[in-house]
Chains A and B, each alone.
Chain A
């Protein structure tokens, strides 16, 4: 107990590394080889494709337009708001539960015990942001729209923004109970800043100067934020993520997501269960229940609306791509409103608690997401009109019911069939992971296909067949729901 705190932390980390290091030199070399191969085969071509896409006159014009700085400010502000909010769910000081106990439960100040964990994440974020900014700068240089010096400034700015984002992320973790409001304030400030037009314009050196001051302030406040982290919260977060990652590794993504879902802490006096027809009672209960985690619910609803806008604006040759992405976003957003559906599926197994029968219970719990989907679809069409003046009602009308059916089908998925883990030897190694990946991704893929297919058929002028396909698709997926629940 006579060693300095920093030395004690180093000793703990060394012991932990020795205890948990499972890779020998050969395995490490193989991992490096895999990274190099993936970077060469996937990373470089992807970067090249992105650079080519950004080098088109339209994209270059957008990057160098007078409105570009305002968009960057807005984007950076929203990233900071997202970091604040994300910190409450998964903070930068989230590590193995045992390591949390060893580093944060002794008399060593948390600013000492946890600074390396945070420093690693902050460095990674800074490097990633610098790399991204440098990439954009390089594209501009190659197009003759910027100089090498500009690239350096951009990369520096990116690194600074990355570090500030990491500190905002830490602030979200330290003040998790207020992260929602802090994020809302940050987003509002970003919107205000994006509309500010200083007289005489903005000089890059001035922007960097401001960023440098913000970085210094952020780094000065970091030790206080680390000290402000609560031990029980740190441990609970570590246990939750460790459990979720273990569950996900075994293919139970539903279980992993359930472990991470936000728990309600407000609205206990709201009237969730009231008189009236069961359809109304269950819909109100599910909607009020969803709103008891307002951040999660808001993100879900916004995602539904954003996805519906994408569906409604999808036209031209790229319509299936845009609509596919839109229906995937709707699928993801809808998940936040399907707690009742998941509850109905769990109730379908074992002793009976509700007196409605499993199918009626499932149907009643599907009303709330259906209502949100209908409202979100209408808002999406209205939003598409407001944005571009042209909106396809047919695409969301055909795709959204199918997305809802797929969401319910996905909720009834159950655990990964053990047969899928059977090794599949091939000349390039065991590819059983492909089976598992396909099983895990079936619902998102179907949801994407629902939007893409609807857009393709509508664009091709096949509205009648498209409606038939949608009806048959919904019927087939609902038959799949029945089959899945029967097998649970």
Chain B
């Protein structure tokens, strides 16, 4: 899927003095970090510290005000097809078709990335099982609870291939057992070589996935 000709040892994500401001309000204070391919970075910080802003910049949906950022060697830009092919993000709840069941839509997502239909259907079932959603495979999205909906949103993102996975607080509204499930799922992706960047308030996720940690300070008015 990758079209990059980067050296094998070049970082997957590199940010230098990256910051975002609106008028005189700093949404993201200057931030510098480097992440190697296949590594996992957990971004922590209080509400308003800039975690979501940082993830939006990395996902290419928001331009930085200053500094430099590269993801897989490219400046993040969600308008670029090659970038979209390699970077998956869960920042807001994804749009879901109201009339397709959970399993059907995951299958459709996978086939849209070129996965053969039978494989897509198998993967869809495995993904639902991995996230404890198998009993709900024939439900429609509006029939899920808020926690189940959050898990399904994660499933939609995991149904597509990616080299970098950007997640904003995937543990929201989940109980301890479900948090452990998503930690397991993300560890498997990381072990398979996917680079992870996630913002989280969960101690459990931070301890299990946070081989690298980035703590952001709060927003300020300059």
Name A residues whose Cβ lies closer than 8 Å to a Cβ of B: 261, 263-265, 268-269, 272-276, 278, 281-282, 285, 288-290, 292-293, 339-340, 343, 346-347, 350-357, 361
Partner of A352, one of B78, B92, B117, B138: B78
Q: Indicate whether A353 sits within 8 Å of B109 (C-beta atoms), given known contacts A263-B142, A268-B139, A347-B95.
A: yes
Q: Which of B8-16, B45-53, B97-105 contacts A (4 or more CB under 8 A)?
A: B97-105
Contact partners of B95 in chain A: CB under 8 A: 343, 346-347, 353
Q: How far is the CA of A63 from the CA of B91 in the complex (A)?
A: 63
Q: How far is the CA of A361 from the CA of B91 in the complex (A)?
A: 21
In this complex, the member of B99, B109, B139, B157 whose beta carbon has the largest number of chain A beta carbons within 10 angstroms is B99
B108 touches A285 (CB 8 A): yes
Chain B: CB-nearest residue to A297: B99
In the complex, per-residue mask of B63-85: 1 if CB is within 8 Å of any chain A CB, else 0: 00000000000000010010011
Partner of A354, one of B81, B112, B118: B112
A351 touches B88 (CB 8 A): yes
Q: Indicate whether A350 sits within 8 Å of B92 (C-beta atoms), given known contacts A268-B138, A273-B104, A357-B81.
A: yes
Minimum CB–CB distance from A472 to chain B (whole Å) comes to 29
A355 touches B85 (CB 8 A): yes
Contact partners of B156 in chain A: CB under 8 A: 353
Tell me if B179 is interfacial: C-beta within 8 Å of chain A.
no
Q: How far is the CA of A268 from the CA of B104 in the complex (A)?
A: 10
B94 touches A351 (CB 8 A): yes
26 contacts between A and B (CB under 8 A): A263-B98, A264-B140, A268-B101, A268-B140, A272-B100, A273-B107, A273-B111, A274-B117, A281-B108, A281-B111, A281-B117, A282-B108, A285-B104, A289-B98, A290-B99, A292-B140, A339-B97, A339-B98, A340-B97, A350-B78, A351-B90, A351-B94, A353-B95, A354-B108, A355-B109, A357-B81
B89 touches A351 (CB 8 A): yes
Q: How far is the CA of A273 from the CA of B99 in the complex (A)?
A: 11
Contact partners of B189 in chain A: CB under 8 A: none
Chain A: CB-nearest residue to B95: A346
Minimum CB–CB distance from A466 to chain B (whole Å) comes to 37
Name B residues whose Cβ lies closer than 8 Å to a Cβ of A: 59, 61, 78, 81, 84-85, 88-92, 94-95, 97-101, 104-105, 107-109, 111-114, 117-118, 138-140, 142, 156-157, 160
A261 touches B61 (CB 8 A): no
B99 touches A350 (CB 8 A): no
A278 touches B138 (CB 8 A): no
In this complex, the member of B59, B94, B98, B156 whose beta carbon has the largest number of chain A beta carbons within 10 angstroms is B98
Q: How far is the CA of A344 from the CA of B161 in the complex (A)?
A: 20
Chain B: CB-nearest residue to A291: B99
Contact partners of B101 in chain A: CB under 8 A: 268, 272
Q: Indicate whether A351 sits within 8 Å of B85 (C-beta atoms), given known contacts A278-B111, A339-B97.
A: no
Q: How far is the CA of A310 from the CA of B64 in the complex (A)?
A: 55
A264 touches B61 (CB 8 A): no
9 A-B pairs with the lowest CB-CB distances in the bound complex, closest first: A289-B99, A355-B113, A275-B117, A351-B89, A346-B95, A352-B84, A354-B112, A268-B138, A273-B104
Q: Knowing that A268-B139, A285-B108 are A-B contacts, what are 7 other residue pairs whose CB atoms are under 8 Å apart, sorted by A's residue number?
A: A264-B140, A273-B100, A275-B117, A275-B118, A352-B85, A354-B112, A356-B112
Partner of A350, one of B81, B91, B160: B91
Contact partners of A289 in chain B: CB under 8 A: 97-100
Contact partners of A343 in chain B: CB under 8 A: 95, 97
In this complex, the member of B100, B105, B157 whose beta carbon has the largest number of chain A beta carbons within 10 angstroms is B100
Contact partners of B157 in chain A: CB under 8 A: 351, 353
Contact partners of B81 in chain A: CB under 8 A: 357
Contact partners of A269 in chain B: CB under 8 A: 138
Chain A: CB-nearest residue to B153: A353
Q: Indicate whether A351 sits within 8 Å of B78 (C-beta atoms), given known contacts A273-B104, A275-B117.
A: yes
